[in-house]
Amino acid sequence: MPPPTGYEPDPPPRQRERPIATALAGANNARTSVTTRQWRNAPTEQMPAIEPDTAASKQIKVRYDEEKPATRLREKRNRLDHRSILLAKVVFGALAMIVFLATGSAWGMKTWYNSKFEQVAALDVNSADIKDAPAQLGDENFLIVGSDTRAGADQEASGVSGARSDAVMVAHIPKDRDRGVVVSFPRDLEVTRPACQRWDPNTAQYTNEIVPEAPLAKLNTAYAVGGPRCVTKLIQQLTGMRMNHFIGIDFQGFKNMVDAVGGVTVKTDGPIIDGEMGTIATKAGPLPLKGDKALRYVRARKVQGDPTSDYGRMKRQQEFIGALLKKAMSQDVLMSPSKLTNFVDAFAAATFGENVGVDQMLTLAQSMKGLDTGTITFLTVPTTGYANARGNEVLMEEGTNLLFKALINDTPLPGEEPRQQHVTGVKETTTRADESTLQQETGNP
């Protein structure tokens, strides 16, 4: 099918080699207006017809380094880091599809998508917590928060009710757009939660109540009591970085995404009978997944005969997301306006945020799709590697300061060799950061 009139294909990405800092434990400044969050049962709007452009449907690829579990805390942290990576793959994959859609339908698609995306107040770009603000001009920092609001999802632990953030990460794209760094934060990281306005997750509104500062709190309680604004405030305090985009996604939305593409198929090594989720598969082989069955598949962690528990769940989640993105980027979906529309519609219905309309999403997606495989670095903030008496992870302040100072100043990460400047006709190369040096300089065990 010929491309739309006026379409110019992207030039091939510049080939380069780029260092990948080993995962330590496991991710425009213009603001859009904030409008009242739309109800889920709002009348359905049909997206304008589009003419698919296969050249714009490149799947974004990310790479992360696996590590071997050393302790119970390390195992738990690995699980959370992989969930962050899982979330990142969903977001970046959906961004690739938005690029595809916007290329084909231009203004009509932008208007449709912006009307579907739920805007909530989250940002404070003039906060006093932002360090060296002039140095950060031009950088794109996306605060991405994944939450699971299913019933019985540990919502009452530690005396705090409401939806909690299961994954918190900052996706940093420097002003020169030559790399990407995703830093994840353990949900059990011990923090001093700042005073925040109370957040009502049922109405997606803030109340007049001020929740006082709370020392020795878990990071994931910030979203539970203060919503997006509180998480942004806390992360800016921890990093000194200006968060100029906020994306929230509910893991419950996976169900509608998989249904939108007509289901996916994964391969199982044997029966999957879970103590909580019931029988998901009766034998080894291909397993079609749709709707509630897909949710049960990714949530199962008490599978008979699987002693790995969360590692087994992590593996299934990776396989599921891989199958979902592969199906979403297939010709069957890309050449079907209805399936394509339904998938992006499902993604929009499961996400909310601020300063993340189509124009902003395109900025991130276009930057990401030009990156070579392996140039997105996944890191976890440096911690001591063991739980304290309260069961929380303890931040290593010196290593954390070094990490975010490097990101703010666009200098090599701790332990990473300086990047050579690109010269016309010369291939840009660097060597891989030394793992032990990286760990020593950030303080991670």
- Per-position pLDDT tens, the chain of length 445: 444 444 444 444 433 333 323 332 333 333 333 333 333 334 344 434 333 333 333 333 333 333 444 455 555 555 556 666 667 766 776 766 665 655 555 456 667 667 777 889 999 999 999 999 999 999 999 998 877 654 334 443 344 455 556 678 898 989 988 788 888 888 889 999 999 999 998 888 999 999 999 999 999 999 999 999 999 999 999 999 999 999 888 877 778 888 998 999 999 989 999 998 899 999 999 999 998 898 888 778 788 888 765 557 657 765 776 688 678 778 888 788 888 888 888 888 888 899 987 666 665 655 555 444 456 787 889 999 888 999 898 999 999 999 999 999 999 998 887 765 433 332 222 223 333 334 444 555 5
The number of domains in the chain is: 1
pLDDT at 361: 66
Cα-to-chain-centroid distance, residue 359: 18
pLDDT at 291: 85
In DSSP terms, 353 is beta-bridged to 119, 247
Extract long-range pairs of 126-133: CB within 8 Å, 24+ residues apart: 127/233, 127/236, 127/242, 129/233, 129/236, 129/237, 129/240, 130/236, 130/240, 130/241, 130/242, 131/240, 131/241, 131/408, 132/240, 132/408, 132/409, 133/242
- Residue 130 covered by a domain: yes
- Residue 286 covered by a domain: no
- Residue 276 covered by a domain: no
Residue labelled with tokens 């019931």: 278
Give pLDDT tens digits for 328-382. 778 888 788 888 888 888 888 888 899 987 666 665 655 555 444 456 787 889 9
Residue 370 φ/ψ region, left for φ over 0, alpha for ψ in the -120 to 50 degree band, beta for the rest: alpha
- Residue 3 covered by a domain: no
DSSP track, 269-290: SS-EEETTTEEEESSSEEEEE-
- Residue 149 covered by a domain: yes
- Residue 16 covered by a domain: no
Pair type for strands 214-218 and 190-193: antiparallel
| Structural domain span for residue 75 | 57-253+332-418
pLDDT at 105: 52
CATH number at residue 187: 3.30.420.590
Element (H, E) at 306: none
| Cα 151–Cα 153–Cα 158 angle in degrees, nearest 5 | 125
Burial of 393 (0-12, 13-18, 19+ CB in 10 A): buried
* pTM score of the predicted model: 0.66
